[in-house]
Amino acid sequence: MSKLLIVGTVAFDAIETPFGKTDKILGGAATYIGLSAANFNVQSAIVSVVGEDFPEEYLTMLQHKNIDTSGVEIVKGGKTFFWSGRYHNDLNSRDTLDTQLNVLADFNPVVPETYKDAEIVMLGNLHPIVQLSVLEQMESTPKLAVLDTMNFWMDHALEDLKKVIARVDVITINDEEARQLSGEYSLVKAARAIEKMGPKYVVIKKGEHGALLFYKDQVFFAPALPLEEVFDPTGAGDTFAGGFTGFLTKTGDISFDNMKKAIIHASNLASFCVEKFGTERMQNLKREEVQKRLLEFKELTKFEIELA
């Protein structure tokens, strides 16, 4: 079976939503990606960094999900990256209350020897220089390199970001970020412009409005499941990325048709993530729940149409 290499933050989050607030809980892009990909029983490893304050039980939990954490550096005397944010009433926007980079400030990622030949590499949201360093440590060009990023890096490290973008096969960003990166309002035009920067595939995440996959002149649309209640959107995009790469790792098929399926699985998993605070839902997600909701996805968009 293929292997999935994940780089991204492993962190503490403190989250406020209209429905409540948390103390410091487990968070971070790589955490969500790993937990999501674990639903496909793939071999995966996380490259990240934490401080001495990071509870061992969290790492144990990840290991129990078949995630190799030997690439998670534990900095003696260091403090784990901390992010705190408050969501607005519509849950579509948020304010960052606090960001403490801590050990992330001097992070030099080290890819475990056994993962230098990983077929799929998922570059989770992090400084583009760190993402680039991971790519450069690979023994051979991965079968598929997928990049997730955010507007922060477009604002503060655009040149570095463009270097990573030029080297990946797939980029996943949200609609506003696609517009910012391309300077195009139309998402069709934005995707075309981003394809010219390097990635053959462009995935645009629209949150509650679903996701679009662009490849050459083709486009695929995956809906988001209409949910009765979104509790906490934190990590939904990372969970999406983890579902996407987890499915591709498991199937070993990176064709456009299989990517469509991957997007559906990704949307499905993301729909669970938002139902509870932080990683809680993803830590305890059952196979039967995932399968059941996949069927709902099928029903949601299934139609027969005849040309009259």
Could you list the residues that contact its own copies (CB under 8 A)? 40, 89-90, 185-189, 206, 209-210, 212, 218-223, 226-230, 250, 257, 260-261, 263-265, 291, 294-295, 297-305, 307-308
C-beta closer to its own copies: residue 159 or 228? 228
Beta carbon of residue 224, minimum distance to its own copies (angstroms, whole number): 9
CB of 89 to its own copies, least distance (A): 8
d(CA 123, CA 148): 6
- Which C-beta is closer to its own copies: that of 76 or that of 302? 302
| Residue 64 burial by Cβ neighbours in a 10 Å radius (0-12, 13-18, 19+) | exposed
Task: Give the DSSP H/E element, type plus range, for residue 160.
Answer: helix 158-165
Please give the Cα distance from 275 to 122 (Å, whole number): 24
| Partners of 83 in beta bridges | 13, 99
Report in angstroms how near the CB of residue 210 gets to its own copies at its nearest.
7
Instruction: Tell the smallest beta-carbon distance from residue 141 to its own copies (Å).
Output: 28
Number of C-beta neighbours around residue 92 at 10 A: 11
Nearest distance in Å: CB 161, its own copies: 24
Shortest Å distance, C-beta 304 to its own copies:
7
Nearer to its own copies, 56 or 307 (CB): 307
Q: Nearer to its own copies by C-beta: 163 or 192?
A: 192
Number of neighbouring beta carbons within 10 Å of residue 236: 23
- C-alpha span between 132 and 115 (Å, rounded): 16
For the chain, count helices (H), then strands (E): 11, 15
Q: Is 170 helix (H, G, I), strand (E, B) or coil?
A: strand
Whichever of 127 and 205 has its CB closer to its own copies, that residue is 205
Query: Looking at beta carbons only, is 132 or 202 nearer to its own copies?
Result: 202
Beta strands in 52-107, from DSSP E residues, in sequence order: 67-68, 72-75, 82-87, 94-100
Residue bearing tokens 């591709």? 248
